[in-house]
Amino acid sequence: MLWDGSAYAQINGESQRPRNTTPESRRHNAEPRNSGTKHTCSQMCPESFSCNTDLDACEFPAPRSVKLRSLVIMKRLYIGGLSHTITQKDLKDRFGKFGDVQDVELRTRRDDEGVPYKTFGYINLEITDAGFKKCMTVLNKSKWKGGTIQIEQARETFLQKLAQERHEAAEKIQSPSVNHKDKLVESMKEAGVENFHMKAAVPGTEIPGHKDWVVSKFGRVLPVLNLKCQGRNKFIKYDPSKHSHNIKKLESSAEVPDPTPVSQLTWEISGGDDDISKKRRGEFPPQKTPLAKKKKDRPNQVVANGQSDRVKSCGTSEKGPTVLKSNGETRPPTKPKQTPASKKLQTQTSVCVFDSGDDSDGDIRMLAQRSTPVDGPVVDEDEDNLEVVGDNYIPRTFLTQQKIKDVCQLPGGSSGKNEEDYDSADTDEILNSRKTPSGTKQDQLPEVSKTQEKAEVNKQTNNLETDRTKEKKANKVLPKKAVKKVFPTKKTPSPESDSGDGEDDDSKEEREDSYSSKAKRTYNVLPKKKAIEKSTTPSESDDDDDDSEEESDSDSSKTQKTGKKVVSKKKTPTSELSSDDSESYEDTSEASADSEYEAMFTNCQRLAFSLDDLQQLVKESFLKGLDRDSDDDDPGSDSQQPGPNRVSEVLGMEPRVTAPEAPVPLAKTGNGNTPEEILAAIFEEDNSDEVREKKKKGKKKTNPSTSLPAFQGTKALLATSPQSLKRQVEEDGKIKTSTKKQKRDRLVPSKPSASEDDAKTVSKPSDTKGTKTRPPSSSDSEDTTKSPALRRKTTLKAEPGKKSVPAASSTSSSSGCSSVESEMEEDVPAKKTQKAEVSKKPQTAGEVIDAKQQDNQKRLAAQEQRQKEAELQKKLIQEALAKLDSAADGKHHIKFSSDEEEDGDEEEHTSPVPPNPKKTLFQNSQSDEEDSSDEESPARGKPGLKDKEYKKLAGSNLFDDDDDDDDEEEKDGDRFQIKPQFEGKAGAKLMQLQSRFGTDERFQMDRRFIDSDDDDEPEMELSQPERECELVEEKKKSLDILNHLLNINVQPSDPNKPTAKGKAFRDISALQYDPTKEEHAAFETKNDKPKKDSKLARKKKREEAEKLPEVSREMYYDVSMDLKEVFGTSKEEKTEEEEEENVAWDKEEEETSQPMAVDPVTVSSHLSTNEGEASSGFKFSFFGGDTAADTTTEREEYRFETLKGAKVSWQVDPRFQDSSDEEEEEEEEAKEQTDTTTPTAEPLASKKAFFFFRLDDERLKEGPKAFCRSSKLEDQREMWEEKRTGLIEEYRKKHKDARRKLKTSQRN
Amino acid sequence: MRPLTDDETKTMFEKLSKYIGENIKHLVDRPDGTYCFRLHNDRVYYISETILKLATNISRGKLVSVGTCFGKFTKTIKFRLHITALDFLAPYAKFKVWVKPGQEQSFLYGNHVLKSGLGRITENTNQYQGVVVYSMADVPLGFGVAAKSTQECRRVDPMSIVVFHQADIGEFIRSEDTLT
């Protein structure tokens, strides 16, 4: 039973059929095989010998080569060892001699690189045996085209095989398969075998005629079998006769009436109607399509049912076949095939594990039950979740994470928010750890913090900042550099600060800024330009002010400052402000944070006003202030102050405005009893702040916030002052105010006019912190001292309405206010009315009115700010990067300046003369002259305070000079910069040398002192690239290895070419052409195509270009010759005229130059004047020591005129042509020399050798003539007209002549 | 510290290529700077040029580690990747295996990845292909070798090993002393 399926029987070692056997012989051969198979069958069911019927099924395929005509056979030959160049035709020709070539098939094997390494072919050849032999002998192993031909017989192509098989199948059907059996039986019968039984035959006897048939026990005739061992190639001859001893004859066998052939054996199993038996019979209930969707949707829940179902189905489906095959057999765990795509199948497979070997339904069910509750869900889930992912799978989460990271890394608002969050934690460590705290950031980017929460945060940050500043204070000395650097930035903010001032001052009138107004209502009365601004709807804050005590006043002042800050775009103040407000004024506290917020934004909008507007405002206010003052009912000292004073005040107020957080510094500066100390502390703070800002911001010129830090100090001072300093301030207040005014005056006059650029004036004060800081403090103090009265006045003012209450103008500031108000009225009547209305109402009313507008404004402002924010961020980054170096420089300067300043302070104390006495004095005098009113001010009037005043002046000057100091300090900075000769390594050596001699000037080290033989340096430099080379080589090597390893082609990228750059995505649609960018040159359509020309072509062209001018010259000569001939007669006349003209010109020269020239002597002689003029023209480089230097400067005007004349004299064209004809000169020369004569030209030629002019250069003498009018215009005109007539006549004549000539020539 | 010999380079690249294939070239030829492999104490370090220069200041005996350790050469001159190389393998990995959250810990404790813990796998992963193991949140956890091909992974029972563990980031803690 072993060899049912796997055993392979072969008979008698007839393993190979001869190919070219005739059908008869093949049939003969086939016979025994058939019998063999029959035998196997019989052995499978030994009882029935009559299982002949399935011989067909067992039969081997019939012989293949069918085509046989006489002797010609179709052969398929393999031809190997061909050269790669051989074609099918070659083969055909070659083998055509031996037979009829039916088909040629050529194949070439190629390796991975496509190089053929083997070529062979198959040929279908109709050939006779002899022919084939001949062919083999002739062609086999012969050399053909570089290859040794190998010829073998090949199997038929599969097509042929297929065709043959079909053919044979058809044949077989025609010829009944019974034939073989019958024949066998027949032939056996001849040998005495009946029905495979041979009676009375000894077992083991061969049947005559049938070699392979043996008689076995009971006379049965059985075939001898050749059995192939399993796994081995040996064949075992199985002689049934030798193994037949144990066979018993079954009686019943005889009874089998009709042995059914094996092929007809059915596998039918009779059974009951139950499921299993049905299934065993192969009858399956209609299969349910598994609930794929359900499962997918809720794998966990469905698991129980679905699994059981699945299990069943699996079990049944697999059971069927297995049962059919063998009943008792235990199945190995079957792995059903899955289509990877369907998940359902996957799940099935996972479950299938359980049904291995279990046939019964009960078991399966049990399994299902077991699996479902316990581990079913888990496993199932797992199975369900198994994903297979493509190579290009990109994890989504990963991407998103990255994005988030990127966002976080952006320095933009998001980070800012985070930072804010951090800030909320009040720890200093956080601040310290983070170099750029949100506070500063917010300062820089005020727009960021728009929401109230942010404002609060800002508050905190402010506190933090102050802490920080405190810390830094100790360490940092006043850095002047920082100040300097900030200056430019401040310039822009200053106008804003002005506006802020205006607001503050106007606060009485303009109450729209509910928050600031309350705080502001206060003392500072300054002419406001802002009043004119529409956004400000006047609101009366004054009423509130009055009640507040002094403390509250101080607070208010602080708040004011903060408010100003806000104006200048600091967020921090708002918070402070709000807090302060709440503290000081409960009634005003209604002004909600929103209102403040809005106010902030309104302020921001105001900032958008152009400088020009501000300037205009200032001017107007100034003028008006003058008028006002004169008109003012109150004859107070202030009223007498002239306009400029007020302006100066306005300017002065700005610093105050900028003052930042008051309270904290106050608390910190415990020692600040004296204003100076406080100031110093403040300065330090400021500086530190500035430095910080610088570091972080870089330049924020556009950003107004930069100016803020500078002002912090003042604010602090103010804040501190109110309590501790109040007394002092009160005492000094008047003096200070006066001084302050003076300073301001100074500032203003320093500019040509008070009405000059507002921005400039403003910028100056803002720049000079020192001056400002002090004056504000003083003013504040003054304000505080005066506060009670003033307040009352202001309140009065406020209540009646606008500036209609001139009483308020008792103080200068108040007067300014009033003036501004008047301005407002005049300029914007509508607004005035509005203001009036609003002013009557309390703040809240103003809010209500503008609620909607403000909302809208808020929104707009938010948008704007967002944009600005983005821009600012960009800028900040850029600038910060760009300024890294400069910042380092700044530190130097800061230290230096701070020292200086401290000294200055000391000096102030000791000596009344400021460090820069000259300038200050000068300015002072100017200011004094201009502002008489200043002197009249009470403070000034006090003689005892003069010292202080002076001091202030000095200080102010000190700080005023900051602008100038900028230059100086830059020079200082230069001092610290490495001098060019000390740069580099060689420079360092030189430096060492120099250090040996100290600063002795006699031993100044020069470049020449550098040893020329420092070889080590270049060596060092060389080693660097060498190493790089090594690395590059290493890289190459490793890439090579990689190439070998992976069979890929990796080329080292060019290190100079950043590959990432190329990959960077660019939105072309967003691209804008920027002519300044080099990259964008690609977008330009270039007109010059010749660039593409090869070198040769270029050379040729160059040569041509070189040749061309020569050619043209010749042409030129020819033409000139012609002209000469043509105009030969006229030339003489002209030269005469020229001579005349020359004379006339000389005279003219004298005439014209005499009145103009300062020095008549120089003019007297033609040459000398020329020289002088010439020298004036060119002196600057070549005739530095010329005596005419003095005169030249004054003669510039003259030169101007002469130039004009020259233009006119240019009319004399023909002359010029003539002169140029004679010598080729540079065009300039030709132009200048309108009257060149041969004698002058000769020296010129000789002098051409000199590159520069010489002192007595002919050209210099003649040049000026071209610029001078040689004669009077009328004369010239007359002459010209005369000449013209002559010329016309001449021309006509010549024309006629020419015509005539032409005619004659034509006739001829 | 010295550059790798050709043989060493080859061995190492062969190993690396099991995980990142031809992406090695991105390691060797980086656009953002020059990077190189250096052998020190039988360990291969992947160093940027700048750090390499700095490292020259430290004597060989004192130099514990420089750059990123990719792995070490065993005594039999085979190359063994260390978990420290994961940072460079993960971005370039060609074949990845995602581990379910439940089995993350198991893997991080040094166990193989079982079928039950296999959440996702790159298609066409061959048997014994080097794979980088990720958590389902796409955090690279380590690397290993695929014990079964993707096709086989579908069929095998849940408790069979799918990925052989080679290194995981748990080693940063477990073998802190040996990792350099």
Specify the pLDDT at position A271. 58
Partner-chain contact B158 A350, CB within 8 Å: yes
HSE toward the beta carbon, residue A1018, CA cutoff 13 A: 4
Q: Which among A479, A515, A895 has a CA at the least distance from the CA of A685?
A: A479
Task: Say yes or no: B48 contacts chain A, CB-CB below 8 A.
Answer: no
Partner-chain contact B31 A1028, CB within 8 Å: no
User: What does pLDDT average to over chain A?
Assistant: 54
Q: In this structure, what DSSP letter does residue A766 have?
A: H
Average pLDDT over residues A683-691: 49
Cβ atoms of residues B162 and B118 within 8 Å: yes
In whole angstroms, give the CA distance from residue A551 to residue A545: 12
Q: Find chain B residues with C-beta within 8 A of A1044's C-beta.
A: 10
pLDDT band at A776 (very low <50, low <70, confident <90, very high): very low
Specify the pLDDT at position A1236. 43
Partner-chain contact A1039 B10, CB within 8 Å: no
Q: Find chain B residues with C-beta within 8 A of A1050's C-beta.
A: 22, 25, 28-29
In whole angstroms, give the CA distance from residue A333 to residue A315: 11
- Residue A864 has a CB neighbour count (10 Å cut-off) of 15
Specify the pLDDT at position A429. 46
Q: Find chain A residues with C-beta within 8 A of B120's C-beta.
A: 385-389
Task: Say yes or no: B1 contacts chain A, CB-CB below 8 A.
Answer: no
Cβ atoms of residues B52 and B36 within 8 Å: yes
What is the share, in percent, of chain A residues with pLDDT greater than 70?
Answer: 23
Q: Which among A1, A10, A8, A5 has a CA at the least distance from the CA of A32?
A: A10
pLDDT band at A679 (very low <50, low <70, confident <90, very high): low
Partner-chain contact B154 A386, CB within 8 Å: yes
Q: Find chain A residues with C-beta within 8 A of B93's C-beta.
A: none
Chains A and B form CB pairs within 8 A to the count of 119
All residues at 6 or more sequence positions from B160 whose CB lies less than 8 Å from its CB, including other chains: B114, B115, B147, B148
Task: Say yes or no: B155 contacts chain A, CB-CB below 8 A.
Answer: yes
Q: Find chain A residues with C-beta within 8 A of B163's C-beta.
A: none
Indicate whether A184 pLDDT > 70.
yes
Q: Find chain B residues with C-beta within 8 A of A1031's C-beta.
A: 34, 36, 49
Cβ atoms of residues B71 and B13 within 8 Å: no
Q: Find chain A residues with C-beta within 8 A of B20's C-beta.
A: none
pLDDT band at A1297 (very low <50, low <70, confident <90, very high): very high
Three-state SS at A1011: coil
Task: Say yes or no: B138 contacts chain A, CB-CB below 8 A.
Answer: yes
pLDDT band at A1294 (very low <50, low <70, confident <90, very high): very high
Range ranked top by mean pLDDT from A559-573, A657-671, A1225-1239:
A1225-1239
Q: In this structure, what DSSP letter does residue A281 have?
A: T
Partner-chain contact A391 B118, CB within 8 Å: no
**Three-class secondary structure assignment of A168-202:** HHHHHHHCCCHHHHHHHHHHHHHCCCECCECCCCC
Range ranked top by mean pLDDT from A239-243, A635-639, A1165-1169:
A239-243
pLDDT band at A138 (very low <50, low <70, confident <90, very high): confident
CB interface of A with B, residues 289-348, below 8 Å: 335, 338, 340, 346
User: Residue A1048 to residues A1040, A1057, A1105, B17, B25: CA-CA distances in angstroms?
Assistant: 10, 22, 52, 12, 10
Q: Find chain B residues with C-beta within 8 A of A1058's C-beta.
A: 31
In whole angstroms, give the CA distance from residue A693 to residue A702: 14
List the single residue in A386, A1037, A1059 with the smallest CB-CB distance to B118: A386
Partner-chain contact B28 A1042, CB within 8 Å: yes
Three-state SS at A1300: helix
In whole angstroms, give the CA distance from residue A427 to residue A433: 10
Structure tokens at A115: 């190089």
| Burial grade of A633 (CB within 10 A; 0-12, 13-18, 19 or more) | exposed
All residues at 6 or more sequence positions from A401 whose CB lies less than 8 Å from its CB, including other chains: B138
Range ranked top by mean pLDDT from A88-92, A926-930, A1254-1258, B172-176:
B172-176
All residues at 6 or more sequence positions from A815 whose CB lies less than 8 Å from its CB, including other chains: A525, A625, A628, A629, A632, A634, A636, A638, A639, A641, A646, A809
Specify the pLDDT at position A1044. 78
Q: Which among A1151, A1192, A1149, A1197 has a CA at the least distance from the CA of A1172?
A: A1192
Partner-chain contact B119 A1045, CB within 8 Å: no
List the single residue in B95, B119, B155 with the smallest CB-CB distance to A387: B119
Partner-chain contact A395 B134, CB within 8 Å: yes
User: What does pLDDT average to over chain B?
Assistant: 87
Q: Find chain A residues with C-beta within 8 A of B134's C-beta.
A: 395
pLDDT band at A366 (very low <50, low <70, confident <90, very high): low
Average pLDDT over residues A975-989: 62
Q: CA nearest A1055 in B: which residue?
A: B31
pLDDT band at A649 (very low <50, low <70, confident <90, very high): very low
ipTM: 0.73
All residues at 6 or more sequence positions from A605 whose CB lies less than 8 Å from its CB, including other chains: A535, A857, A860, A861
pLDDT tens track for A1188-1216: 444 444 444 444 444 444 444 455 444 44
End-to-end CA distance of chain A: 136
Distance from CA of B143 to the nearest CA of A (A): 17
pLDDT band at A428 (very low <50, low <70, confident <90, very high): very low
Distance from CA of B177 to the nearest CA of A (A): 31
pLDDT tens track for A627-646: 544 444 444 444 444 444 44
Partner-chain contact B150 A1035, CB within 8 Å: no
Specify the pLDDT at position A1292. 93
Q: CA nearest A377 in B: which residue?
A: B116
Pairing mode, if any, of strands B140-146 and B113-114?
unpaired
Q: Which among A989, A992, A994, A1013 has a CA at the least distance from the CA of A1005?
A: A994
Q: Find chain B residues with C-beta within 8 A of A393's C-beta.
A: 96, 122
Beta bridge partners of A80: A150
Task: Say yes or no: B154 contacts chain A, CB-CB below 8 A.
Answer: yes
Q: pTM of the prediction?
A: 0.27
Average pLDDT over residues A1238-1260: 58
pLDDT tens track for B30-67: 888 888 888 888 889 998 888 888 888 888 888 888 88
- Residue A1071 has a CB neighbour count (10 Å cut-off) of 11
Range ranked top by mean pLDDT from A70-84, A888-902, A959-973:
A70-84
Specify the pLDDT at position A1193. 44
Interface test with A, best of B4, B5, B114, B120 (most A CBs within 10 A): B120
Specify the pLDDT at position A680. 55
Structure tokens at A993: 């040398």
Range ranked top by mean pLDDT from A12-26, A358-372, A804-818, A842-856:
A842-856
C-alpha angle A1068-A1073-A1074 in degrees, rounded to nearest 5: 135
A1062 versus A288: the higher-pLDDT residue is: A288
A31 versus A193: the higher-pLDDT residue is: A193
Cβ atoms of residues A1170 and A1265 within 8 Å: yes
Q: CA nearest A376 in B: which residue?
A: B158
List the single residue in B6, B28, B32 with the smallest CB-CB distance to A1035: B28
C-alpha dihedral (A1273, A1274, A1280, A1285), degrees to nearest 10: 170
Q: Which of A68-82, A403-417, A987-1001, B45-59 has the lowest average pLDDT?
A: A403-417
A1040 versus A337: the higher-pLDDT residue is: A1040
List the single residue in A349, A353, A1059 with the smallest CB-CB distance to B154: A349
Partner-chain contact B153 A386, CB within 8 Å: yes
Partner-chain contact B137 A397, CB within 8 Å: yes
Q: Find chain B residues with C-beta within 8 A of A350's C-beta.
A: 157-158
Q: CA nearest A393 in B: which residue?
A: B122
Partner-chain contact B100 A387, CB within 8 Å: no
All residues at 6 or more sequence positions from A30 whose CB lies less than 8 Å from its CB, including other chains: A59, A60, A62, A63
Specify the pLDDT at position A939. 42
Structure tokens at A1067: 């939105």
Interface test with B, best of A1041, A1044, A1046, A1051 (most B CBs within 10 A): A1041
Q: Which of A118-127, A715-724, B107-116 has the lowest average pLDDT?
A: A715-724
Q: Which of A99-113, A174-188, B52-66 has the lowest average pLDDT?
A: A174-188
All residues at 6 or more sequence positions from B56 whose CB lies less than 8 Å from its CB, including other chains: none
Partner-chain contact B119 A385, CB within 8 Å: yes
pLDDT tens track for A1107-1164: 554 444 444 555 545 555 656 555 444 445 444 444 445 444 444 444 444 444 444 4
pLDDT tens track for A1068-1091: 666 667 777 766 666 666 665 555
Average pLDDT over residues A49-53: 39
List the single residue in B9, B29, B116 with the smallest CB-CB distance to A1041: B9
- Residue A477 has a CB neighbour count (10 Å cut-off) of 19
pLDDT tens track for A1019-1050: 444 455 666 777 778 778 877 877 777 776 65
Average pLDDT over residues A279-303: 56
In whole angstroms, give the CA distance from residue B89 to residue B92: 5
Specify the pLDDT at position A1299. 92
Task: Say yes or no: B28 contacts chain A, CB-CB below 8 A.
Answer: yes
pLDDT band at A187 (very low <50, low <70, confident <90, very high): confident
Indicate whether A749 pLDDT > 60.
no
Average pLDDT over residues B12-18: 87
Outline where A18-116 has alpha helix (H).
23-44, 55-58, 88-96
Partner-chain contact B122 A1042, CB within 8 Å: no
A271 versus A747: the higher-pLDDT residue is: A271
Specify the pLDDT at position A1051. 56
In whole angstroms, give the CA distance from residue A1305 to residue A1182: 61
CB interface of B with A, residues 85-114, below 8 Å: 94-96, 98, 100
Going A1154 to A1160 to A1162 to A1164, the CA torsion angle's sign is positive
Specify the pLDDT at position A105. 83
Can you give the C-alpha Rg of chain B in angstroms?
Answer: 17
Interface test with B, best of A1042, A1047, A1056, A1057 (most B CBs within 10 A): A1042
Q: Which among A573, A524, A517, A525 has a CA at the least distance from the CA of A543?
A: A517
Range ranked top by mean pLDDT from A385-399, A443-457, A544-558:
A385-399
Distance from CA of A332 to the nearest CA of B (A): 15
All residues at 6 or more sequence positions from A975 whose CB lies less than 8 Å from its CB, including other chains: none
A321 versus A1045: the higher-pLDDT residue is: A1045
Q: Which among A1144, A1087, A1180 has a CA at the least distance from the CA of A1275?
A: A1144
Average pLDDT over residues A850-868: 85
Provide the greatest CA pair distance for chain B. Answer: 56
Interface test with A, best of B1, B10, B17, B22 (most A CBs within 10 A): B22
Range ranked top by mean pLDDT from A332-336, A414-418, A1172-1176, B38-42:
B38-42
List the single residue in A382, A1035, A1037 with the smallest CB-CB distance to B158: A382
Task: Say yes or no: B122 contacts chain A, CB-CB below 8 A.
Answer: yes
